[in-house]
Amino acid sequence: MADAASGSTDRSVQVKLVLLGEAAVGKSSVVLRFVSNEFQANKEPTIGAAFLTQKCRLEDRVLRYEIWDTAGQERFHSLAPMYYRNAQAAVVVYDVTKASSLEKAKTWVKELQRQANPNIVIALAGNKIDLVQPSSSSSSTPSSPEPEDEADDATATPGENAGDGEGESLRQVPREEAEAYAQEAGLLFFETSAKTGEGIVEIFTEIAKKIPIDQILASSRGGANRAGAAGGRAAGQEGGVNLDENAGKGKDACNC
């Protein structure tokens, strides 16, 4: 990225965004869809976090997303603070066919709200809706899912060809439930499919609208040292590289 240094002259704004969520909910697929508009079944596994960038136009401005796609395995959880520190945005992903993944998403939201940059914009994304949608030809199924549907087929494995009419029964997380939660917690909310591309770009454009761009621009123009640029973080820290989630925060951070 040779143009990285000259970033302050053009109108592009750099936004650090982190993806969090349970393993295999489709974080990497969402990013891949957004960055290169493709869907692949087998990809590189994510060790620690994968790093990608993508530009995004918003009215007259260009946002340059620096995306950190984190590993989802539970034991990597303690490494996450390393990636979400200084982030201006986060996408917390769950899988609409797996109820437990929403629970995990909630714990991520809680953690972000308490440990991350206080102005962080968080979006909740229920992924894999292609699995719970009727096949495109027959749109007879009512669009609002019945909560009762989640009960029995919970153990069925979400298959690639599950879209044929039966789709809705794979759903374990009703849209209303997740949406209500998102509203209550102050999150942007989307249902997405990395496979079909539905809802993916929207996440990133909505986030872009909500981010205080002028604030970022103002502070990055302010001086060469950008350490304080990211949403009012205290500049400088003593420990240098620090995996502790408190690294960039003041003393009050220990209150969870």
Partner 1 sequence: MATISTQLRNFKEPTKEQLTQLFFSLPPEPLYNGDPSTPDKGMGELEKMEISAMLTVSGEEPCTGKLYLIPPYLAFASLDRKSVRFTIPLCTIRKVERLSARAGVYALGLSLWHQMKIIVQLTALRPTADLFCSLLRDALKSELQRGQMKAVKGFVNTCYSEVMVSLDDSKDGPATKSDEHTESMYLGGLGLKFKFPGDPKKLREASKTKLWISYLKTHGRNLTLLRFPQCTRLVQVGLPNRLRGEMWETLSGSVYLRFANPGEYERILEQNKGRTSTSTEEIEKDLHRSLPEYSAYQSDVGIAALRRVLQAYSFKNPETGYCQAMNILAAAILIYMSEEQAFWLLEVICDRLLPGYYSTSMHGTLLDQRVFESLVHRCLPVIHDHFQQVDVQLSVASLPWFLSLFINSMPMVFAFRIIDCFFCMGPKVLFQVASDNTAILKINGEKLLQIQDDGGFIHLMREYFASLGDSAHPDSPDPRARAITRFQELLLVSFREFAVITDDTILSERRKFRSEVVHSIESFSKRSAIRNLKTLERFNKDQAGLIYDALFKAICIIPPPAVSLPPPTLLTTKEATEERPETRIELRTFKVFLSEICTWARTEKVVSNGFQQRVDREVADHELIDRLFYFWDTAYRGALSFQDLVSGLDGVMFNDLMENIEWFFNLHDKNKDGFLSKDEVLTLCESLLFIFRFEIGDAYLGAVSRFMSNAFEYGDALLPAKEGPNGEEELPQIESNQPYINLATFRMVVLADEILESFFETDFSATFKLEPVPMMEIPNSNNGILGGLWSNIASDDNRKIFHKFTDEIGKSIGKHQILYRPAIGKFTTLEEPKARESLLTPTMRRSASKASLSATDSSTSISVATSQLSQLNVDLDASTTSLPSSIFSPVPPMLQAANAVAFMERTPFAIDDAKDDDEESEDGSEFEDGVMDEVDAFIEAHDTGLTEAERELAKDLINAEPVK
Ligand X SMILES: Nc1nc2c(ncn2[C@@H]2O[C@H](COP(=O)(O)OP(=O)(O)O)[C@@H](O)[C@H]2O)c(=O)[nH]1
194 binds ligand X (CB under 6 A): yes
Position of minimal CB gap to Mg ion? 28
Q: How far is CA 14 from the centre of its chain?
A: 16
131 binds ligand X (CB under 6 A): yes
- Return the structure tokens found at 246: 């408190």
Question: Which one among 34, 83, 190, 204 touches partner 1, defined by CB under 8 A?
Answer: 83
171 binds ligand X (CB under 6 A): no
Q: Please write down the long-range contacts of 153-157, taking CB distance under 8 Å and 24 or more positions apart.
A: 154/99
28 binds Mg ion (CB under 5 A): yes
Which residues have C-beta within 8 Å of that of residue 32, sequence separation ≥ 6?
38, 39, 40, 43, 194
Piece in contact with Mg ion (CB under 5 A), picked from 21-29, 76-84, 153-161, 205-213? 21-29
**Residues from 65 through 84 that contact ligand X (CB under 6 A):** 72
30 with 91: CB under 8 angstroms? yes
Q: How far is the CB of 48 from Mg ion (least distance, A)?
A: 11
Q: Tokens 């809802």 map to which residue?
A: 199
Distances (CA, A) of 35 to 46, 56, 133, 146: 16, 10, 24, 34
Q: Which is nearer to Mg ion, 13 or 18 (CB)?
A: 18
Q: How far is the CB of 173 from ligand X (least distance, A)?
A: 14
Question: Which one among 16, 20, 26, 233 touches ligand X, defined by CB under 6 A?
Answer: 26
